[in-house]
Amino acid sequence: MSLFSIITSFSKEESDLFIQYIRSRNKRKDTKNIDLYMLLRKGVPVNDIITTLYGSSNRNAYHALSKRLQDSLIDFIATRSFETETSEDMTIFKWILTARILYEQDQIDPAHKLLKKAIKKAKQLDLYTALVEAYHTQIQYSHLHPEQDLPELVAAAQQCHKLFLQQERLNMAYAHIKRTVQFNTALLQQGVQETIEQILADFKIDIQKDLTYKSLYQLLEIINTAAHLDHNFSKALPFITKVYKLIEQKDHVAAKHRFYHIQVLYFMANAHFRVRDFTQAQSYLKLMDEQIGADRRKWESRFRESYLLIHSFVMNYSGSYTTAITSLEEYIKNTKGKSHPDTRLALVVFLTQQGLYKEALGQLNKLKHSDQWYETQLGKDWLIKRDLLTLIIYYELEYVDLAHATLRSFKRKHKSIIRSETRLHSFIAVYTAMHNNPLVIDEDRFRESVKNNFTTSTLKEEDIFMVSFFAWIKSKLDNTPLYDTTLHLL
């Protein structure tokens, strides 16, 4: 757990509340936890913090103070969560517990009324864990209510238990799929979408409106991951739309699940962008922006960069490249270089498409972590995109030796994927031929073979990012500006 990442995720309001929280808990006036918090929030380097706090290199004292501050952060987040996020959930469980106590004290009528109230509210919120407990209690004391239809009550409890188990099965399937995506490369190469559909079938997942908001979000995340790995959002979009329509029917609980709601809108905006439906993507981005602004902008720091990234892609591929580049440059500047690698890589794409290769290389060189780090944190797909951009930039700048070394490294690192991924294999084959002999692009036989592979019709259903790489090859063959060629292929 990163102390810095937790602190920087706080909004100004949350930061002020946390300072009040630790100030109220401090028993001594010379406690340095607030000072440490403020220095970390400002991004001051650790060595400078130690000197500021202790006047010398006292790492043992610093680590002890950091541990206490981290404990306070966890306590604060947990306390705030109980006060806000789960207030309705906690209230329902309190009603059920109170009803049980009232039954034990022979307060039958108020207990029964409170239990019915808990069941009604739990149904509204799809809170099956609470419903299972409520029905259990209601059946336990049903002998005190002869007017109640016991078979009807048992049937309701059984239906609730069925939905609860379905929710649990989806959670298990979700965990299984996430693990498969992360570790089982061989299985995924059989077909990501097919693999996920098989896992859902194995766990007997029935996609229906009775799934909870969180369960539907998990399902949408699974499909989104599959489409991302397959580079095939066109195939996944009907499935994504079906799940989203079910989520829309749960609008009455959307405010309670604001975090998941924003994530869902992000998935929808991204999916429509990837299939080049920019108008629809913009409509989801507008909704996402509205939700980020709700609850006193509580989720601003968590989701603003994600929103900005998709928005800039939509702008760029809609023809407004200046807006896209400016927005990302300003964000990276304002965050003092602490933006997500995705954001910087997007800027590299936009600059490359405008022929600003040296500027693009400058941004690329600021991605300083190791390949292992990027693959672990962001996945092999991200690493491949970065390496392909590097190859294109080196080619354009005529850095022949660097291009040669990078190409050899690329073929070695991604050997198995190049062999199994037809689109990547085609791109690397053409790039290699152009690198080995730049004049080959003037040969009719070469030009015809390449054009047959990368025609507008064959790219119609292709992922927008793959089209962007193919557009570079076409721009070299046709001697046309890369950005104009890219938009034409879309």
Q: pLDDT tens digit string along 380-439?
A: 889 999 999 999 999 999 999 999 999 999 999 988 888 878 888 889 999 999 999 988
Report percent pLDDT > 90 for the chain. 35
Query: What's the first-to-final CA gap in the chain, in angstroms?
Result: 42
Do the domain assignments include residue 310? Answer: no
Do the domain assignments include residue 44? Answer: yes
d(CA 133, CA 103): 15
In a shared domain, residues 22 and 53: yes
Mean pLDDT in residue range 229-240: 80
Q: What is the DSSP letter of 66?
A: H
pLDDT at 116 over 60: yes
In a shared domain, residues 131 and 155: yes
Do the domain assignments include residue 117? Answer: yes
Q: What is the pLDDT of residues 268-317, one digit of tens each?
A: 999 999 989 999 999 999 999 999 988 888 888 888 999 999 999 999 99
pLDDT at 354 over 90: yes
User: Lowest mean pLDDT: which of 407-416, 443-452, 469-478?
Assistant: 443-452
Mean pLDDT in residue range 357-364: 95
What is the pLDDT, as a whole number, of residue 342? 93
3-state secondary structure (DSSP) of residue 127: coil
pLDDT at 8 over 60: yes
What is the pLDDT, as a whole number, of residue 171? 82
Final residue belonging to a domain, choices 160, 176, 192: 176
What is the pLDDT, as a whole number, of residue 457? 55
In a shared domain, residues 111 and 155: yes
- Mean pLDDT, the chain, rounded, equals 85
In a shared domain, residues 15 and 64: yes
Final residue belonging to a domain, choices 56, 83, 110: 83
In a shared domain, residues 56 and 122: no
In a shared domain, residues 128 and 48: no
pLDDT at 462 over 80: no
Final residue belonging to a domain, choices 60, 83, 106: 83
Q: What is the pLDDT of residues 154-200, one digit of tens each?
A: 999 999 898 888 888 888 887 887 777 665 655 555 666 677 777 87
User: Using 50, 70 and 90 to split pLDDT, how confident is the model at 348?
Assistant: very high
3-state secondary structure (DSSP) of residue 231: coil
Mean pLDDT in residue range 340-368: 94
Cα–Cα distance list, 458 to 101, 377, 445, 467 (Å): 69, 33, 19, 10
Mean pLDDT in residue range 450-471: 75
pLDDT at 4 over 80: no
pLDDT at 1 over 50: no
**Structural tokens at position 72:** 């306070």
Which domain, by its residues, includes 126? 88-142+150-176
Helices 371-378 and 380-396, packing angle to 10 deg: 130
User: Using 50, 70 and 90 to split pLDDT, how confident is the model at 87?
Assistant: low
In a shared domain, residues 7 and 42: yes
Name the one residue in this structure whose structure tokens are 């706090």. 53
**Structural tokens at position 411:** 């073929």
What is the pLDDT, as a whole number, of residue 422? 82
Do the domain assignments include residue 137? Answer: yes
pLDDT at 449 over 90: no
Determine contact, residues 216/206, Cβ cutoff 8 Å. Answer: no
Q: How many domains does the chain have?
A: 2
In a shared domain, residues 10 and 30: yes
In a shared domain, residues 112 and 167: yes
More confident residue, 392 or 41: 392
Mean pLDDT in residue range 47-74: 85
User: Lowest mean pLDDT: which of 2-16, 34-48, 389-403, 419-433?
Assistant: 2-16
What is the pLDDT, as a whole number, of residue 126? 79
C-alpha atoms less than 13 angstroms from C-alpha of 142 in its C-beta half-sphere: 15
In a shared domain, residues 74 and 7: yes
C-alpha atoms less than 13 angstroms from C-alpha of 441 in its C-beta half-sphere: 15
In a shared domain, residues 67 and 19: yes
Q: Report residue 380: phi and psi, to 5°.
A: -65, -35
Do the domain assignments include residue 297? Answer: no
Q: What is the DSSP letter of 369?
A: S
Do the domain assignments include residue 207? Answer: no
What is the pLDDT, as a whole number, of residue 12? 77
Closest CA to 11 of 300, 339, 307: 300
More confident residue, 376 or 264: 264
d(CA 99, CA 297): 37
pLDDT at 373 over 90: no
Do the domain assignments include residue 348? Answer: no
Mean pLDDT in residue range 39-64: 83
What is the pLDDT, as a whole number, of residue 442? 86
pLDDT at 465 over 50: yes
pLDDT at 375 over 80: yes
Buried b (16+ CB within 10 A) or exposed e, 340-373: bbebbbbbbbbbbbbebbebbbebbeeeeeeeee
What is the pLDDT, as a whole number, of residue 17? 87
Q: What is the DSSP letter of 443?
A: -
Q: H or E stretch including 132?
A: helix 128-140
More confident residue, 2 or 211: 211
In a shared domain, residues 30 and 10: yes
Overall pTM surpassing 0.85 (yes/no): no
